[in-house]
Amino acid sequence: MTEVETSRDGSVMTITLNRPDVLNAFNAAMHRALGAALREARGDDVRAVVLTGAGRGFCVGQDLTEFREEPGDIGERLRGNYHPNVLAIRALEKPVIAAVNGPAAGAGVSFACACDVRIAADSATFVPAFINIGLVPDSGGSYFVSRLLGYARAFEWMTSGRRLTAAEAHAWGLVSEVVEADRLTARAAELASSLAGMPTRGIGMTKRLLDHAASATLDEQLELEAQLQSAATRTEDFREGVAAFLDKREPRFSGR
């Protein structure tokens, strides 16, 4: 068994966390395998990524059996195992879709929220489990959830440890779409395929701009927009987009 499986359908890469007996809780091997999958996803032949879980869970954060004896220095484990993969998702210059197929808890919520889009099965649930065991949000949970939900709702949810249903997560804007569980894979593939057909470099640069906006002044943001817009005009997809518009035909974007 491999802790993370990858598959390709054209330019869409699916990364499946694969420890279904423990709802895909993280252990060291899974961190390493996820890191390798995210490195593979950097290739130009990949234009959209789907992150999902095997079995009935998405990901329930740290494997707690590793805490039974002595937790060790969690800070070091976060820096060494979790942070590189959270940063790798944000650094991917292409859309990453979390297809949340079941319970997401602890760092599993953080990883879902590190993705660019979240769609959920109607059976999915979201548990900010950290507080339930006396921990604080990590793996970017406090960063992403407060940006997605705003301070008040993020504080209330993350300090209650309450399990949210997919419908509640949708109402709060934590996920953009909820589908019947048996349709999730197909819907994620459809969405990923549609995004993979868009100007990939433009999507990558849009992602960079939105991340930058979180902490930039207006002056800084205007400057980065100007730089990246210049870069966008040097892409093949810009030329194709303008030509297709003027020819009154559908564009055929290559991702270059």
| Contacting residues toward ligand T3D, per CB under 6 A | 22-23, 25, 60-65, 74, 77-78, 103, 105-107, 127, 129-130, 133, 135, 138, 163
Instruction: Please list, in sequence order, all residues whose beta carbon lies within 8 angstroms of the beta carbon of residue 57, skipping any fewer than 6 positions away.
Output: 20, 22, 23, 24, 101, 102, 103, 104, 108
Nearer residue to ligand T3D within complex by CB, 26 or 253: 26
Nearer residue to ligand T3D within complex by CB, 61 or 199: 61
Nearer residue to ligand T3D within complex by CB, 60 or 189: 60
Three-class secondary structure of residue 127 per DSSP: strand
Nearer residue to ligand T3D within complex by CB, 60 or 96: 60
Helix or strand holding residue 251 (H, E)? none
CB of 170 to ligand T3D, least distance (A): 19
The catalytic position among 21, 31, 45, 138 is 138
User: Amino acid identity, residue 118?
Assistant: R
CB of 26 to ligand T3D, least distance (A): 7
Q: In angstroms, rounded to a whole number, what is the distance separating the alpha carbons of residues 52 and 16?
A: 5
CB of 75 to ligand T3D, least distance (A): 9
The catalytic position among 63, 83, 122, 212 is 83
On whether the CB atoms of residues 166 and 197 are closer than 8 A, the answer is no
Helix or strand holding residue 97 (H, E)? strand 96-100
| Maximum alpha-carbon separation in the chain | 67
138 an active-site residue?
yes
Nearer residue to ligand T3D within complex by CB, 57 or 199: 57
| Other Cβ atoms closer than 10 A to 48 | 31
CB of 87 to ligand T3D, least distance (A): 16
Closest to 235 in 3D by CA, of 205, 212, 209, 255: 255
User: Could you tell me the two tokens for 216?
Assistant: 């930039």
CB of 127 to ligand T3D, least distance (A): 5
> Catalytic site residues?
83, 138
